Amino acid sequence: MFFNNVAPRITRTRPAKDRLPISWLVLIAGILFPHLLYGASGGKTEVLPIQKASPAVVVIENAGGEPELRRLMRAKNGVTELPPGRIRFSEAPTSSYGFIASKHLGLALITQSPDLVLEQASLSPDTYEIHKLADGSGLLVGFLGKDLASQINVGERPKNVRIALHSKQSAKAPLIVAMPFEKLIVDSMPSRVESNKTDGPVRMEMDLQGTANRKAPNQ
């Protein structure tokens, strides 16, 4: 009652010239306190999370031997050697690399579910190198032919590209490449490059997708 009785008298006794139009008050409030003006109309403001893009395919077309090409690829991706022992990809430190036997890798990619178990070092010619990037995503490293370099080294592929990724460098597969797990579709297990060499390198047939449309099997 007190405020109801006083307010009319204050309004009546103030000269009209001293009263600011409501539009001016709103304008001044918007300049001095913009968060109040915009917050009132839309409620609480939310910041949407940034969508992490799938990493790009990395191809190094330099000429050189396998040790040098692997060194260049690791430097390009900013990864260092894992600590000794075996560790799951999900538990491995970011910006690191390790190795996995081809049969375990093939099974993981086909089922699209198991976590990869990595070793610090390559224990045989049929192991593949795995890079865990700073953002936690994974790249599969291997070797392929020169004729495929132009087909995979593009930002957006209009369709899938069928490739054979070798575990070791050879005359048929001289280029080193790193490909995101999210873009790989595998439907068969690795096979020996030379069938008469049971302890030799392997190759794995796979489709490299134009865009990532599934979750990686190791995440």
Residues 72-116: pLDDT tens digits?
999 999 999 999 999 999 999 999 999 999 999 999 999 887 689
Sign, CA torsion 139/143/145/149:
positive
Cβ pair 54, 178 in contact under 8 A: no
Q: What is the mean pLDDT of residues 148-162?
A: 73
Spatial separation of the C-alpha atoms in residues 23 and 21, rounded to whole Å: 5
Whether the full predicted model's pTM is greater than 0.75, yes or no, is no
- Does the pLDDT value for residue 39 go beyond 80? no
Provide the Cα torsion 111, 117, 120, 125; round to 10°.
-40
Q: How confident is the model at residue 4 (pLDDT cuts 50, 70, 90)?
A: very low
Q: How high is the mean pLDDT of the chain?
A: 77
- List the single range of 29-38, 85-94, 172-181, 196-205 with lowest mean pLDDT: 29-38
94-108 per-residue burial string, b: 16 or more CB within 10 A, e: under 16: ebbbbbbbbeebbbb
Q: How confident is the model at residue 22 (pLDDT cuts 50, 70, 90)?
A: low
C-alpha pair distances (Å), 86 with each of 83, 99, 115, 216: 9, 10, 12, 20
- Does the pLDDT value for residue 122 go beyond 50? yes
